[in-house]
Amino acid sequence: MKNYCFGVDVGGTTVKIGLFDREGTILDKWEIPTRTEGNGEKILPDIAQALQKKMEEKGLQKEDMAGVGIGAPGPIDKDGTVYEAVNLGWGVFSLRDTLQELCGMPVRAGNDANVAALGEMWKGGGQGYRNLVLVTLGTGVGGGILVNGEILNGATGAGGEIGHIHIQDGEEDACGCGNHGCLEQYASATGIVRLANRILNATDEDSVLRQGKVSAKTVFDAVKAGDQAAVQIAEAFGDYLGKGLAAIAGVVNPEAFVIGGGVSKAGDILFSFIEKNYRKYVFHGSRNARFTLATLGNDAGICGAAKLILE
């Protein structure tokens, strides 16, 4: 009986791996380093070896395994073809077929943000929803979209790349992608710091944020303490993000937005800034979408990868 599977989440510095049963219980999890040298050619053999070793350790045979799900950063289409994953050094190739050959088990592959959305739907903040958008507010803004429970990969694996939706005309700073005025420039952790500096520089208003280094965390801590400048920053953040999520809803009409990433550690207070702006900008057909927090943290990727192969 194929009662087990592996979920693999490839990051720029470490590969997270989990051993799961069919119900999604994490029986074991560990990490190996991501060796990106030589155009990342060692990454998949390293993973195959790690899986083999774990199976020996646990006394598992290939017949016991449903297979391997894997998420990786970069555009990956529904057939598991990668279209250049610059962080890993990968060009265009079939991640699915290559890993399948190396480990001798069925493999399914997807973009890491999309796979994380699947994880949150299965075991995290998105439980109970089949049409959801995972919004990851970290260094950048990432997204994973599920339509009827399935990942929306898009034609070339760039589905859900919501961080680069144009949201502001006339922005002078360039986004990492080269464009100007991307959602990521206002709603990521670094975007919030940019907004904070702009707003603090524009007034003399007293603020705890003027003492020490500003971060997304210090901004929302200050909001909770009632700091007015911090509230103004959070309002600007909420306006941009609400507007961006409303545009997304105008395309996919989700049941729920699941908010994850480092910024989401601020907790429910985020919703008071995002939701009212979302409802202001959105088409009425999507006005009732729910907002929830992601709950799986770093396990979302391995959970979603496991779900990918168990489907």
Q: Which stretch binds its own copies (CB under 8 A): 16-24, 97-105, 142-150, 222-230?
A: 142-150
Using DSSP, state whether 269 is helix, strand or coil: helix
Q: Which of 11, 36, 52, 83 binds its own copies (CB under 8 A)?
A: 83
In the complex, least distance from residue 235 CB atom to its own copies, rounded to whole angstroms? 14
Neighbour count for residue 291 (Cβ, 10 Å): 17
Q: How far is CA 78 from CA 29, 47, 97, 158, in A?
A: 26, 21, 12, 11
Nearer to its own copies, 60 or 158 (CB): 158
Partner residues linked to 137 by β-bridges: 141
The tokens 């859900």 sit on which residue? 160
Using CB under 8 A, pick the residue from 12, 104, 250, 267 that binds its own copies. 250
165 sits near its own copies (criterion: CB under 8 A): yes
Stretch that binds its own copies, among 52-60, 151-159, 198-206, 219-227 (CB under 8 A): 151-159
Cβ proximity to its own copies, 63 vs 169, nearer residue: 169
279 binds its own copies (CB under 8 A): no
Among 251, 272, 276, 298, interactor with its own copies by CB under 8 A = 251
* Residue span binding its own copies (CB under 8 A) among the ranges 115-123, 193-201, 259-267, 274-282: 274-282
Strand ranges in 96-252 using DSSP code E only, listed in sequence order: 107-111, 132-137, 141-147, 150-151
> For residue 146, which of 177, 120, 182, 109 has the smallest C-alpha distance?
120
Measured CA to CA in angstroms, residue 166 lies from 184, 213, 256 at distances of 9, 28, 22
How crowded is residue 30: how many other Cβ atoms within 10 Å of its Cβ?
12
Calpha distance 12→89 (Å, rounded): 10
Out of 106, 149, 154, 262, name the contact with its own copies by CB under 8 A. 154
Strand order in the sheet with 150-151: 150-151, 141-147, 132-137, 256-260, 290-293
Residue in 219, 286, 304, 306 binding its own copies, rule: CB under 8 A? 286
**Cβ nearer to its own copies, comparing 105 with 133:** 133
Q: Which is nearer to its own copies, 105 or 134 (CB)?
A: 134
- Which residues contact its own copies (rule: CB under 8 A)? 75, 78, 83, 130-131, 145, 147-148, 152-162, 164-166, 177-179, 182, 243, 246-255, 280-286, 288-289
